[in-house]
Amino acid sequence: MSMRRTAKRRKAAAAIVIAAGLAFGAVGCGHDSGSPDLAKKPKPPGAHSSPATAPAADATKVIAVLKGKKGIVLTLNSAVRDAGGFVTVQGVLKNTSAEPFSESSAWRGDETEMQQHGNHLGGATLIDAKERKRYYVLRDTEGRPLATTGIRIIKAGETLPVFMQFPSPPASTTDVEFQLPTFPSANIEITG
């Protein structure tokens, strides 16, 4: 075997070892006793399709209605805590105007990392006033938000089921404030 081929194989093997080490380190550093273990969490249905859509929610139940600009309305149907330490907020976006709505880029928030994943609901937060904590939308190991993604233009009269997944506040916290950029905030109740 030539020296050149041996050197290339050594570089490839070193790159694999370094990548595995970085991945292991990132998982280890990103976990603390108060955070959910993302490696064990299954991906929400449609989390990385284009667009990612919400699992089915009970559309007859309404926990909050937020009216945004240009006729866009976000109706929240549920905020459910699950045994894995997550809270999933589900609802429906509706364009009540006669014009297409194309200003969803603000919903992804201000964080630089969130800008690279297209238009999504990753800028949403839950505020736990009792514990004085803010909970951000969870992300997968590649930094993509665990929320509805791939939002482009919402046509006049169109509805879009949506979801956002957050770390769970303590079990004693049932009332939180939901915030999404460009919408007024709303107090919602966590169930489950």
Residue 81 CA to residue 191 CA, distance in Å, equals 6
Alpha carbon 96 to chain centroid, angstroms: 24
Structure-model confidence comparison of residues 106 and 80, the more confident one: 80
Of 139, 137, 145, 131, which Cα lies nearest the Cα of 176?
131
3 state DSSP class of 108 = helix
Please check whether residue 78 is in contact with residue 61, taking contact to mean a CB–CB distance below 8 angstroms. Answer: yes
Most confident of 12-26, 45-59, 100-114: 100-114
Mean pLDDT of 60-85: 94
Q: Are 145 and 121 in contact (CB under 8 A)?
A: yes
Secondary structure of residue 179 in the 3-state scheme? strand
pTM across the whole model: 0.69
Task: Express each pLDDT in 123-182 by its tens digit.
Answer: 999 999 999 999 999 999 888 899 999 898 999 999 999 999 999 999 999 999 999 999
Round to whole Å and give the CA distance between 91 and 143: 23
